[in-house]
A and B are shown apart, each in its own frame.
Chain A
Amino acid sequence: MNAGVGERSAADYLDALSRGDRRAAQAVVERLRLEGMSPLDVMTQVIAPAQYRVGELWADDSWSVAQEHAATAVSESVLAVLTADTEAPGLSGAPVVVSCVEQEWHALPAGLVAAHLRAAGIPVSYLGANSSADQLVRHVHELGPRAVALSCSLGASLPRVRRQIEAVRATGTPVIVGGSAFDPAGRRAATLGATAYAATGALAVPAVQGLPRAVPPADPLVHPGADEAVIVQAEREAIAANIRRRVFAAHPSDDPDAETSGWRKALTDHLPHLVGAVAGALVADDATVLDDAVTWLDHVLSHRAAPSGLTDELVQVLAAELREHPVAARLLTRA
């Protein structure tokens, strides 16, 4: 399969996504499968680049939220079929449970990991997107898996990764983590108590092979900021609501609908993630988690006609809201 076919199909696929046309997207994938492309290659060469582009198009305000949601929903249902295609019923032994961290909806990284592991002859029990900590632990109890592989895409989800690592390691089961919420060197993963880190889907295979059979419960986090992470995470919605009120008051609008579109809407939707990224930076003991979130939000706001300097203002308001939490406040001064 040459790269050209992949690129052309990726364009067709993106076109189907832009219309939210699931059957057309499914048809592109089925055609490639008939031509002999593996599910793994379809994921990496067609779906991954298309979904990446969808994220960009939304961030640039070229696509509406509705279009982005429709496209993502289409890709998720196509992925579910593709991941089921990688199932290898002949494999025996304790499986690896592959899941997204709770409250994340993008199943692509987890699907890739499942496909890579299965291709290497490792049995997988695939939970996909948005499985709760309770569901994950119930699966671990039922299956007695060799390991749990947890994918996490957003810095704001790192506190939930920590919670799930604690829950899984309490059963003696090793945890591998991966996804764009982690740094390439795996420092955040190690801090959070993961047994191993896989920088790519393919690296999940040697990571699983090198795992100990059993692990002790996760050590408590003792680094400065670990306690603050718990508080900020618990209060992130209240903090986000206060910031929103203060920023909107500083930039009043005569338009009664102003808050349902443009930068105000984007800010309302994403402030909880920004505050979550503070908790993520604190729990992972890594200020760059917050830097990434700020850079990204700045990009989103600047494409939605936000007043200039809004991001800096946001960071200052956030620092003021968090003034009673010294480690968080230091992070924000730095950002």
Chain B
Amino acid sequence: MSSTARETADDLLAPVESTDVEARLRQSSRRAMFLAQAARRVGGSMHAERAVDLVLELLVPEAVDWAQLVVLEGGVLNCHALLRGHDVQRASVPAPRAGTSTLGRVMARGLADLSLVSMGSEDDVDGALASAVPAPELRQSLAGIRPIDLLVIPLAARGRSFGALTLARHAGSGFDQEAVSFLEELAGSVAVTLDATRTLADSRRVASVLSRDLAPPNLPTMPGAQLAAYYRVAFEHEALGGDFYDIHGGEDDWTAVVGDVCGKGVEAAVLTGRVRQAVRTAALVDRSPASILRLVNNVMVAEGDGTFVTAVCARVRRAGDDLRLDVAAAGHPEPYVLRTTGELERVSAGGTVLGLFDDTEYADVSVPLYAGDTVLFFTDGVLEAPGFEERFGEDRLHQVLQSGPRNDVAAVVETVAMALSDHLGDRAHDDIAILGVQNSAPTP
């Protein structure tokens, strides 16, 4: 241990004469600082295991020579221990029974336990230590500390002990009553934070399982075509949004859909999942985009929850060297076709927003995609992207597409994405989705 760390430990935990007012004051302020630092450091991490490590690294070597933190999880006791100068070691053992070990007793009663494990045969010492340090491999790291003062403090939150903190110092360094009180206070504040990270980890796990289906899908491999997409959500900390794209099918008959549900964030993302599923189901009935949109609209109107969605749906079929596009739209920005010649065409498909009116009819518009041509579907988050002086807008999109690369769809999409990012700067924005499909048949 460095002399500074030893001094700090002495400073924090050493008994001070009650008459030495100045020393007592110094120690009190050191302890207050240490508590504040603990709360800040451990509180910043919202990752359960890392928070455990931070607690251990805070205590060793600044306060004690060795520390163990155990957490009860589903009938298993997960043990983490740190000896100064080493890395955190981990082991799992069966949960202790309340009556049979120091750990079990401390956790059951919610009261700290201080013991001195004195010299004796190594087997006797090991047996005594096992009561507080059940994992044999973690006990080994204690071998250099004999005799040991061992303090076991419960970790409790929401009225229940969920673990314990075991602290070891060379006997003689000791824990006096004031030091124990201080460490109990520390354990109390650390316990609340650890409990919060565990709760957070649980809900994060639930969220990640649920969101897996809501995040944009990986693009499939489509023979004779290249695909590229860009997706950026308004609420980046949630990672989910109300824009969506999907492309499915097989052989040489595919369905692509890009859409935007009303609202943002998680609530909107849940609706995108339903719409994407409805499109997939409808495509099994009739592959015409107009029929798909009509069916999805009817489903949404029947559910009648007042939500609405804009979407553009396209059927993509191989016709020799060409791809044939049939496009229908529901209140959505019209897709662009970027020709290898540099011409830019808007596919003028128009129709009513999904989810508002019963029995709405949609119409398919047919467009050929020659070898090398690209069709670009996007949401209004692109056109509406706020800039310093004005929105991104159609003119800028035209200019970017016409002066940008044409022969690779990934490059086309990336160019638009880069221009958007420059335009947006640090401004808040709506959800953004772009999907490009290029006919990759060899250009004649």
Contacts and interface: CB of A to CB of B under 8 A. Distances in A.
Instruction: Please determine whether chains A and B interact with each other in the same assembly.
Output: yes
Contacts of B44: 170-172, 217
Contacts of A173: 45, 50
Nearest to B409: A22
Contacts of A22: 408, 410-411
Contacts of A171: 44-46
B253 to A, nearest CB: 24
A272 B57 CA distance: 44
A141 interface: yes
B389 A241 contact: yes
A62 interface: no
B403 A65 contact: yes
Interface residues on A, range: 35 or more
Given A65-B403, A105-B421, A216-B37, A144 B49 contact: yes
A60 B101 CA distance: 76
A248 B163 CA distance: 69
B237 A217 contact: no
B388 A238 contact: yes
Contacts of B239: 135, 138
Given A20-B411, A69-B404, A172 B388 contact: no
A77 interface: yes
Interface residues on B, range: 35 or more
Contact of B405 (A73, A137, A213, A217): A73
A53 to B, nearest CB: 18
Give the residue among B44, B54, B388, B418 with the most A Cβ atoms within 10 A: B44
Interface string A136-162: 011011111000000000000000000
A45 interface: no
A69 B54 contact: no
Interface in A56-73: 64-67, 69-70, 72-73
B113 interface: no
Interface string A118-138: 000000000000101011011
Nearest to B46: A141
B40 interface: yes
A214 B236 contact: no
A76 interface: yes
A21 B46 CA distance: 44
A116 to B, nearest CB: 22
Contacts of A144: 45, 47-51
B405 A141 contact: no
Contacts of B407: 19-21, 70
Contacts of A76: 410, 414
B271 to A, nearest CB: 22
A172 B418 CA distance: 32
Contacts of A73: 405, 408, 410-411, 414-415
Interface of B: 37, 40-42, 44-51, 53-54, 57-58, 200, 204, 208, 236-237, 239, 388-389, 403-408, 410-411, 414-415, 417-418, 421-422, 425
- Enumerate the 8 nearest inter-chain pairs by beta-carbon distance, A residue then B residue, closest first: A144-B47, A70-B405, A144-B50, A73-B411, A134-B236, A237-B388, A73-B414, A141-B46
11 contacts: A66-B403, A70-B404, A73-B415, A105-B418, A134-B237, A138-B237, A141-B47, A171-B45, A217-B40, A238-B388, A241-B389
Given A74-B410, A74-B411, 11 more contacts: A20-B407, A21-B408, A69-B414, A103-B425, A130-B421, A134-B236, A138-B236, A144-B49, A173-B45, A214-B57, A241-B388
